[in-house]
């Protein structure tokens, strides 16, 4: 059985002894709808419309907790603010070097890239991801 959405949230929370609070549930709901790999600040701006008294610190700590227990992923960083990815499925990223958008890329060939033996001899590889960079459709037009 696969767990997705709020089911996954309840299941993972239980497994990790995480209390399911209305704030945590609300933050997770916002994450489920986010397709843009938002920062903590982006999430805060969305959640504060629903829960006006929530603090940025709460949102930030909750996101860190979620990533620690495997509910969401932290997007591979570039030294900027952490960006979060609620899509735990295997996929790849295209990052626009001008506007900073991170767009999901799905490609079977990328999924099946083999890790060379010289690398597996040195490291234990637990995930593989292709990251493409360039100009997105909007930025590439001028
Ligand atoms: Zn762009
Ligand atoms: Zn993604």
Q: Which residues are within 5 Å of ligand 1 (an ion), measured at CB?
A: 96, 98-99, 136, 139
- Ligand showing the shortest atom-to-Cα distance for residue 104: 2
CA atoms of 90 and 118, how far apart (whole Å): 24
Q: Where are the alpha helices (DSSP H) in the chain?
A: 5-15, 22-33, 40-47, 56-68, 108-111, 117-120
pTM: 0.84
Per-residue pLDDT of the chain (142 residues; tens, 9 = 90+): 455 678 888 888 899 999 999 999 999 999 999 999 999 999 999 999 999 999 999 999 999 999 999 999 999 876 778 999 999 899 999 999 999 999 999 999 999 999 999 999 999 998 889 999 999 999 997 6
Q: Given this model, what pLDDT does residue 4 score?
A: 66
- Ligand showing the shortest atom-to-Cα distance for residue 101: 1
CA atoms of 72 and 39, how far apart (whole Å): 12
How far is ligand 2, taken at its centre, from the CA of residue 125, in Å?
19
- Ligand showing the shortest atom-to-Cα distance for residue 99: 1
């Amino acid at each position: 059985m696969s767990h997705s959405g709020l089911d996954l949230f309840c299941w993972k929370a239980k497994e990790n002894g995480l209390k399911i609070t209305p704030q945590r549930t609300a933050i997770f709901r916002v994450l489920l709808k986010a397709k843009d790999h938002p920062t903590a600040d982006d999430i805060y701006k969305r959640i504060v419309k629903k829960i006006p008294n929530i603090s940025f610190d709460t949102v930030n700590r909750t996101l860190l907790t979620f990533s620690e227990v495997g509910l969401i992923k932290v997007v591979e960083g570039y030294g900027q603010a952490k960006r979060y990815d609620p899509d735990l499925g295997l996929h790849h990223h295209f990052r626009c070097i001008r506007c900073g958008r991170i767009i999901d890329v799905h490609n079977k060939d990328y999924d099946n890239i083999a890790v060379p033996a010289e690398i597996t001899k040195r490291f234990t590889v637990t995930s593989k991801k292709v990251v493409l960079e360039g100009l997105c459709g909007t930025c590439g037009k001028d």
